[in-house]
A and B are shown apart, each in its own frame.
Chain A
Amino acid sequence: MNLKMPYIRIVVIGALICLLPLVLSTFYMHIAVLVLIWAFLACAWNIIGGYAGQHSLGNGLYMGIGAYTVAYLVNRFNLTPWVGLVVAIILSAAAAAFIGWIVFRYALKGAYFALVTIALTEAAVYVVSNIPALGGAGGMQMEYRGNSLAYMQFAGQNGYFYMGVVLVVFILLLTQWYKRKRFFYQLIAVRENEDAAEALGVDTVKAKIKANVMSGVLCAVGGVFYAQYFLYVGPRSVFGEVVSVQILIYAIVGGLGTTWGPVVGAVLLVPLSEITRGQLGNSFPGSQLLLYGLVMVLTMMFMPFGIMGLADRLRQRWQHRSATPLVDSQGGEAS
């Protein structure tokens, strides 16, 4: 019972969320879809950044690969996005494996990984901006072909909303399932003490590359979804530093290495930033990103474990007061 509870919770909350279209207006439905897109991407980043502790600053690269692959294949060869999705998964897996292998094969870690990933995702912006077949700096528009699942396009937001719910529920279930598996225990061991993990027989290089591939592929799936929703891809809107920071900020604010943290972060920050942009965007361009910067600095200074970490700590303190626990529950692993 206790073991199944987290899964049941995810499915029940997902089902309840599906009722939202009944009460939300079009504007808030748009924000809801954005929340789902970013929650999904943040959950994907959480695998390499949160569980494996390798702070990739370049997951925009995989999101961009996903978005551009699907846009190019749909525009150029008139294929259905589902084929694009498969190709995007293959390409992003190859890219993530290659980058992971380059960085992790030697004992270069932490900041080196962050630097290389941010350099590559920024490089991708300049490369893509210079390829005419990919629309150059202007990006690519995609044609609306009508309300059909075969073209992954829907009239209005509801179709995208349900698709987003399915994706987020899927990634939450996946994370929850992997949390009980050997692979995630290896990742956490790598994060906590790489040398000790190596000494205990964990192939740390392989574990980190695997985590990078998993995270990259899922980000590419998020990118495909993003492209289908906006029917537009641009170098700076799917590649680059700002997008990569956006992906990780929700996970960090919500709580690194927790199942629900990235979702909590996206639910709080995306509406806040969209409303800021709506209210101040014209008179103060950049107010939305300024807000992200402030949130990031304040989170690091005052609650480095994010909202889930804070909640966990408060819960522990409360339990401590009401009864002396037999075993101290460990922090940072709230579900």
Chain B
Amino acid sequence: MNLNFSGAVLSQAVASGIMLGGLFALMSIGLTLIWGVMKIINFAQGEFLMVALYLAYFLVARGHIDPYITIIITVPFMFFFGIGIFRATISPILKDPVMNQIMLTLGVSLILQNLALMLFSANVQSVNTRYSTWNIHLGSVVISGTQLIALVGSVLCTLGVWYFLKTTDSGRAIRASAQNPTAATLMGIDVPRTYLLAFGLGSATLGLAGSLMIPFYYTSPTVGVFLGLIMFIVVVLGGMGNLLGCFVGGLVIGLAETVGAAVFPGSLARVFTFSIFIIFLLFRPQGVLSKRQT
């Protein structure tokens, strides 16, 4: 095995890892938020991101809109898309066991993935924008400008969601419904409505992710499978329902991916990421930032 430990390569890997980690965190906020509020894992979240990526792709490639301006379309679209899916499928069985709702989202993910396959074919689609060649040089380290914007977007989105939950009335209603739905109802909170809002919000964050990713990422019907897997890992690592933990979990996995790729020969890099995941499961199953609950 030919291990590579040169300093320049490693510092480049760390820089890229932080960028990638920010992106992973941004993707996963919605999943952890939806879990935190209504104890549902939306297994279609990866496919929601796929929908957002396709939307952003078509707006940029066919509509010739600047990728960062597409945010004003993708975010509201994904908000209402999430609400629509929730209304049509999860709402009617909100009283059923949570496991049934989770299984249902798994069905939704199969439907979306294969609808995309029928509509858009299996081809991988990506788009060149004027930002694609934009690089920032910091000494020997090269940072892609579009990825830096995604990282900034990720930080702002995490802070924004946190601020929204902490200070606004709707945010308080969401937190109250998460803590104790019955008590929240007695206080006059329309719990199903806050669930709807939370689900829409969790989906809207993916609209942002889609727009920020399309300048440097690609889309395909199965793109959500891998990204969904990353989301699951990040959310478990961060502690389910923990916003800040989600950000840290994203960074851990982002760094594992790039540092692993720099240090280990190609085929072992991904094995390294998953080993990190299993090690965390062994020693901190409750998530990086959460307190142990036994």
Give residues in A with beta carbon < 8 Å to B: 53, 55, 57, 102-103, 105-108, 110-112, 114-116, 118-120, 122-123, 126-127, 130-132, 241-242, 245, 248, 252, 284-287, 289-290, 292-297, 300-301, 304
Contacts and interface: CB of A to CB of B under 8 A. Distances in A.
A67 B126 CA distance: 36
A112 B114 contact: no
20 contacts: A55-B99, A55-B102, A57-B43, A57-B106, A106-B292, A106-B294, A108-B286, A110-B98, A111-B35, A112-B240, A118-B229, A118-B232, A119-B232, A122-B225, A130-B271, A241-B225, A290-B111, A296-B103, A297-B104, A300-B107
B108 A102 contact: no
B186 interface: no
A54 to B, nearest CB: 9
Contact of B107 (A55, A131, A296): A296
Interface stretch (B1-9, B115-123, B187-195, B196-204): B115-123
A297 B271 CA distance: 34
A245 B41 CA distance: 15
Given A111-B35, A293-B108, A300-B104, 19 more contacts: A102-B278, A110-B98, A111-B41, A112-B236, A112-B240, A114-B99, A118-B43, A119-B233, A127-B270, A130-B271, A285-B117, A285-B122, A289-B114, A290-B114, A290-B115, A294-B107, A297-B89, A300-B100, A300-B107
Interface string B254-294: 00000000000011101100100110011001100000111
B109 interface: yes
Contacts of B108: 293, 297
Q: How large is the interface on B (under 10, 10 to 19, 20 to 34, 35 or more residues)?
A: 35 or more
A296 B235 CA distance: 25
B294 A119 contact: no
Contacts of A103: 281, 285
B92 interface: yes
Contacts of B270: 126-127, 130
Contacts of B41: 111, 114-115
Contacts of A107: 293-294
Contacts of B35: 111
B124 interface: no
B274 A127 contact: yes
Interface string B150-175: 00000000000000000000000000
Contacts of A130: 266-268, 270-271
Nearest to A126: B270
B69 interface: no
A123 B229 contact: yes
Contacts of A118: 43, 229, 232
B7 to A, nearest CB: 27
